[in-house]
């Protein structure tokens, strides 16, 4: 069997993380099975279409490394791939249903329908289905929509790839609109027809679509077409367990934003692939090839996928660590330039700055934050670091080190290393008792990057100033 899957976005804006997941899983599924991955544009909501929405979708997908085998301008064997260019097709099929008596024209206005629904609500009805008032009504010279005549008491069972057996009853579905008054088909109608004509074998989409499935199934039945296999992936939820809403500010939701922040495409690909899927392998870091190889639709999860920001940070950090220094510099440089950081410094300084922070970076732009925390914070000593400064000999060690630094005109990292060593010898301190007090004295913290490199970056003036500050602190604490 030839596997053909599709990702069918509406060009209503940027690529959302949830849609990216849908695209990615379809892509993995296709590649794993040697099938075809198609991108179809569902632009039947002309109100919401945004300019360059299509380009934006395709571009963001390309950035992620998800390339369609078939779409606008690529291998157009089953085109066109924009629904607005397929209007005559839908019209033809709608007409066929009308002729067969499987659909009917509805002349109700939006206001009438709303009033009807409101009345049902008042009456406490569970099902707010269309009253069928236009079913069998005579032809009128008024604008009309076309409704599907939903068969009564009919079950629509299907085997869902991820959920297993699912069944909906037609009694829970009202006669729904297949062609709007403006002549454009609704999503469920166009989708079913295209899936058939494009010979889609598997439909992998978000769980929020599961109640659409019976509607699409009845279209297939009405035409006597063979149905694709459906699979509904669990939703992506936030840490409150709620579906990611585009309004939710707590999570960055658009691929473009991640790109702008300096996340790496490979890392994003990796991270997104773990949203509702777990490969049969240990660990969390996988290359594209591994993911294609490991992808199995059986391993799609049935419980909601939590968007774990910590995991994203961890994964991206792992990919940044694996980058060469040059690539990391290239990644970070624009963000520093944007903030006007290091403008007057040379390239060596830039390289050593990035080298020092490379391993702690979760995303490119974070370099700015790390830089600011490191250089700009008013110098203060962490609470948990203060005790160490009270140890015997520490004051003498720091004073000694300060004198040595002041005697050196412009020490580099290696020189600092030698100065630390010399200070240790002179003040008779070694190991942790040598490095830690100096670390605290110049950074205020017990943790941080490599000490000599860090001091070189800080520069001699700041180093001496901080040593002075620490000495004053120790002196004050003695009294």
Partner RNA sequence: GGCCCGUUGGAGAAGCGGCUUAACUCACCAGCCUUUCACGCUGGCAUUCACGGGUUCGAAUCCCGUACGGGUCACCA
Residues 350 to 369: which contact RNA by CB under 7 A?
359-360
**Which of 142, 242, 246, 430 is flagged as catalytic?**
246
The answer to whether 40 and 46 have CB atoms below 8 angstroms apart is: no
Q: Among residue numbers 134 through 163, which ones bind RNA (CB under 7 A)?
A: 145, 163
- Least distance in angstroms from the C-beta of 122 to RNA: 14
Label the pairing between strands 236-237 and 4-7. Answer: unpaired
Is the Cβ of residue 212 or residue 464 nearer to RNA in the bound state?
212
* Residue 377 interacts with RNA (CB under 7 A): yes or no: no
Is the Cβ of residue 154 or residue 301 nearer to RNA in the bound state?
301
- Least distance in angstroms from the C-beta of 212 to RNA: 5
Q: Where are the alpha helices (DSSP H) in 238-382?
A: 255-261, 265-273, 288-294, 309-321, 325-338, 347-357, 366-371
Is the Cβ of residue 36 or residue 362 nearer to RNA in the bound state?
362
Interface region with RNA, contact rule CB under 7 A, candidates 74-82, 287-295, 449-457, 470-478: 449-457
- Least distance in angstroms from the C-beta of 221 to RNA: 18
* 205 three-state secondary structure: strand
Whether 246 sits among the annotated catalytic residues: the reply is yes
Q: Among residue numbers 166 through 195, which ones bind RNA (CB under 7 A)?
A: 166-169, 172, 174, 176-177, 180-182, 184, 186-188
Q: Among residue numbers 217 through 276, which ones bind RNA (CB under 7 A)?
A: 234-235, 237, 239-243, 245, 274, 276
- The DSSP H or E segment spanning 462 is helix 460-478
What does the alpha-carbon distance between residue 420 and residue 414 come to, in Å, rounded to a whole number?
A: 10
Torsion, CA 271, CA 274, CA 276, CA 277, rounded to 10 = 150
- Least distance in angstroms from the C-beta of 240 to RNA: 7
- Window 87-116: contact mask with RNA (x via CB under 7 A): -------------------x-xxx--x---
Q: Among residue numbers 59 through 88, which ones bind RNA (CB under 7 A)?
A: none
Handedness of CA 316, 321, 327, 329 (dihedral sign): positive
Q: Is the peptide bond between 269 and the residue preceding it cis, with omega within 30 degrees of 0?
A: no
Tokens 């632009």, residue located: 43
**Cβ burial, residue 430 (10 Å; 0-12/13-18/19+):** exposed
- The DSSP H or E segment spanning 203 is strand 202-206
* Residue 479 interacts with RNA (CB under 7 A): yes or no: no
Q: Quote the tokens at residue 64.
A: 């992620």
- Least distance in angstroms from the C-beta of 294 to RNA: 12
Is the Cβ of residue 13 or residue 260 nearer to RNA in the bound state?
13
Binding residue for RNA, selected from 70, 194, 195, 207, defined by CB under 7 A: 207
* 459 three-state secondary structure: coil
CA neighbor of 268 nearest in space, from 249, 255, 252, 278: 255
Is the Cβ of residue 112 or residue 338 nearer to RNA in the bound state?
112
The answer to whether 129 and 229 have CB atoms below 8 angstroms apart is: no
Is the Cβ of residue 4 or residue 232 nearer to RNA in the bound state?
232
* Residue 398 interacts with RNA (CB under 7 A): yes or no: no
What does the alpha-carbon distance between residue 312 and residue 305 come to, in Å, rounded to a whole number?
A: 13
Q: Among residue numbers 6 through 35, which ones bind RNA (CB under 7 A)?
A: 8-10
Hey, which residues are catalytic here?
Answer: 246
């Amino acid at each position: 069997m030839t596997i053909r899957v599709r990702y069918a976005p509406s060009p209503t804006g940027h690529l959302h993380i949830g849609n990216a997941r849908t695209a990615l899983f379809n892509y993995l599924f296709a590649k794993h099975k040697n099938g075809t991955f198609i991108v179809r544009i569902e632009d039947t909501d002309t109100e919401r279409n945004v300019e360059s929405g299509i380009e934006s979708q395709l571009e963001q997908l390309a950035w992620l490394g998800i390339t369609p085998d078939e779409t606008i301008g690529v291998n157009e064997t089953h085109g066109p791939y924009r629904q607005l260019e397929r209007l005559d097709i839908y019209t033809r099929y709608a007409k066929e249903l009308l002729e067969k008596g499987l659909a009917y024209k509805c002349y109700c206005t939006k206001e009438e329908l709303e009033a009807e629904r409101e009345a049902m609500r008042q009456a406490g009805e569970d099902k707010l289905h269309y009253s069928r008032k236009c079913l069998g009504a005579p032809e009128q010279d008024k604008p009309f929509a076309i409704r599907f005549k939903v068969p009564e008491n009919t079950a629509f069972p299907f085997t869902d790839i991820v959920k297993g057996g699912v069944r909906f009853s037609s009694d829970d579905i009202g006669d729904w609109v297949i062609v709007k008054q403006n002549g454009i088909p609704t999503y469920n109608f166009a989708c079913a027809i295209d899936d058939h004509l494009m010979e889609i074998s598997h439909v992998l989409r978000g769980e929020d679509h599961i109640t659409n499935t019976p509607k699409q199934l009845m279209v297939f039945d009405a035409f006597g077409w063979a149905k694709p296999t459906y699979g509904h992936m669990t939703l992506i939820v936030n840490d409150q367990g709620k579906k990611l809403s585009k309004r939710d500010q707590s999570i960055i939701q658009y691929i473009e934003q991640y790109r702008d922040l300096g996340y790496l495409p490979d890392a994003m690909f990796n991270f997104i692939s773990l949203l509702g899927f777990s490969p049969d392998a240990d660990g969390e870091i996988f290359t594209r090839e591994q993911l294609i190889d490991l992808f199995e639709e059986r391993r799609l999860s049935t419980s909601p996928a939590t968007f774990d920001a910590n995991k994203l940070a961890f994964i991206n950090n792992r990919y940044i660590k694996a980058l060469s220094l040059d690539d990391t510099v290239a990644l970070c440089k624009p963000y520093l330039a944007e903030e006007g950081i290091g403008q007057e410094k040379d390239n060596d300084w830039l390289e050593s700055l990035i080298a020092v922070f490379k391993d702690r970076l979760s995303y490119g732009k974070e370099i700015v934050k790390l830089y600011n925390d490191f250089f700009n914070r008013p110098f203060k000593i962490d609470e948990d670091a203060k005790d160490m400064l009270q140890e015997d000999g520490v004051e003498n060690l720091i004073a000694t080190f300060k004198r040595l630094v002041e005697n050196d005109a412009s020490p580099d990292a290696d020189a600092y290393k030698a100065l630390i060593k010399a200070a240790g010898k002179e003040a008779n301190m070694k190991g942790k008792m040598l490095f830690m007090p100096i670390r605290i004295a110049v950074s205020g913290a017990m943790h941080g990057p490599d000490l000599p490199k860090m001091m070189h970056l800080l520069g001699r003036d700041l180093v001496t100033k901080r040593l002075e500050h620490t000495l004053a602190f120790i002196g004050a604490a003695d009294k």
